Structure 1
Amino acid sequence: MTKWIDISQRLTNDMACWPGDTPFSFSLTYSKEQTGSVNIGQMTASLHTGTHVDAPFHYDDNGKTIDQLDINRYIGRAVVIDVSHVEKITANVLQEFDLDGVKRLLLHTSLPNNPKRFPDTMPILDPDTAPYLKEKGVILIGVDMPSVDPADSKNIETHQALYKHGINILENIMLDHVQTGTYELIALPLSIDGADGSPVRAVIRPIKESGNLYD
């Protein structure tokens, strides 16, 4: 049986976080020696730590929270494409690929996977990709970057464009070790009441193009 491939960042106390955001921290609250039976850990973190899903509430006060999202969008057939040859990903760039029938699109960009360093610059995902992806039927886009917008963006135009066109967002996936092709994806967010996002354990496994996997 084909093995699952982990494309999520491991949560570590020395991982990079968004500048100014709450860093990830894990520690033992009580040891087995203290309780006499079990170790009990605790963690603190931003909901946008590592590999994570954005909920519309992240950028729209009236948007759906993470617990209100359709989980089916995060499970199913996904296609990985390599756009590492460009620093600005536009609709014209995406037209180089056959995206007919693709519902979940994962972009391998030129940004090297390095969870312990927040990048100084990131490739640009142009807002004009949103209407094109909508036209193709894409409902989820994943990127191997901390955000679909530049770190210094205040208008977050790409977030807003994807939202307007009904496309959910998965960020900070790890694709340096992944070949292009068609996969089964599972990247479920936690059901956190009222939350603006959630870390996920994102995994994929290759499937044949002719496979009859659910959408």
Structure 2
Amino acid sequence: MQRIWDISPPVAAGSPVFPGDTAYRQAWAASIGPGCPVNVSTLTLSPHVGAHADAPLHYDPAGQTIGQLDLTPYLGPCRVIHAIGVHPLVQWEHIAHAATGLPPRVLVRTYQHMPVDRWDPALAAFAPETIARLADAGVQLVGIDTASIDPAESKTLDSHQVIRQRGLRVLENLVLDDVPEGDYELIALPLKLMTADASPVRAILRSLP
């Protein structure tokens, strides 16, 4: 049987968000009791909470929303590459050891243990040159185990702009702690949110048959 790795962090009250972003909140619109057979919750959250896919609209005022995107990049052969401890930027030299014959999707692990319960202002990010070289190699989607492919303090979002220019898709906030370096099948479908700039995903990897 194929093994499954759940690479999504838990989402609940207290889940870290980018400073100033909307934290996860949950209230009950209905509760099981006399005259009510169901529990129904109301959620308030940023679409960037937990594992998520950015839409072009996030970094391009004329970009597509997440609900308008083709799902193909979010499903299929994928390679996990370890660059543990690299900081502040993942350079090509940090992933070159596993960059031969790349599949269309590449996820990079930078943490020994991804901080699922706190914001990390010193998160590792991609060098824009690394994104460009991955695009040159035919990669359609890149992912990382931090909250952004750009440094937290960046105002120019250089790696996001390369993504925009080259038409790549991106996943952020993945949990790759228990995933060995190697090739897998990625399944990380965003919700069909027709006006949103991102979407949470339940990202998993499956071992190849």
AA aligned to 2:38 is V
Matches within 5 A, 1:86-105: 86-87=86-87, 88-105=89-106
1:30-69 mapped onto 2 (5 Å cutoff)? 30-33=30-33, 35-69=35-69
1:71 match: 71
Residue 118 of structure 1 deviates from its aligned partner by 0.3
Change over 3 Å in CA distance of 1:83–1:13 after alignment to 2? same
Task: Provide the TM-score with structure 2 as the length reference.
Answer: 0.94
Relative to structure 1, is the Cα distance of residues 133 and 35 closer, same or farther in structure 2, using a 3 angstrom cutoff?
Answer: farther
**1:25 alignment partner in structure 2:** 25
Distance 1:28 1:35, change over 3 A: farther
TM-score, normalisation: structure 1? 0.92
Q: Indicate if the aligned counterparts of 1:16 and 1:23 stay in contact, CA closer than 8 A.
A: yes
Alpha-carbon distance between aligned partners in 2 of 1:144 and 1:159, rounded to the nearest angstrom: 16
Structure 1 runs of 4+ with >4 Å offset: none
Q: What is the SS of the residue equivalent to 2:73?
A: helix
Match of 2:174 in 1: 173
CA positional deviation for 1:124: 3.2
In 1, are the aligned partners of 2:85 and 2:112 still within 8 Å (CA)?
A: no
Q: Distance in 1 between matches of 2:78 and 2:117?
A: 27
Partner Cα distance (1:186, 1:52) in 2: 12
Contact persistence 1:139–1:167 (CA under 8 A):
yes
Q: In the superposition, relative to structure 1, how do residues 14 and 132 fare at CA in structure 2: closer, same or farther (>3 Å)?
A: same
Structure 2, gaps ≥5 residues long: none
SS in 1 for 2:117: coil
Deviation per CA, 1:152-179, whole angstroms, max 9, x where unpaired? 1111011111221221110000001111
Q: Per-residue CA shift, 1:15-38, capped at 9, x if unaligned?
A: 111111110012321101155211
1:139: which partner in 2? 140
- For the residue of structure 2 that corresponds to 1:32, the secondary structure is coil
Q: In the superposition, relative to structure 1, how do residues 67 and 99 fare at CA in structure 2: closer, same or farther (>3 Å)?
A: farther
CA deviation vs aligned residue, 1:73-94 (integer Å, no higher than 9, x gap): 1000111110115223112333
- Partner amino acid for 1:24? Y
What corresponds to 1:212 in structure 2?
none
Question: RMSD between aligned alpha carbons?
Answer: 1.4
Which whole-Å CA distance do the structure 2 matches of 1:89 and 1:20 have between them?
26
Deviations 1:5-61 (A, max 9, x none): 110011111111111111001232110115521111110001111110000000101
Paired position in structure 2 for 1:184:
185
CA contact (8 A) 1:26 1:42 kept: yes
| Partner Cα distance (1:153, 1:83) in 2 | 21
Q: Percent identity?
A: 37
**What is the match of residue 119 of structure 1?**
120
Q: Is 25-34 or 113-122 further displaced after alignment?
A: 25-34
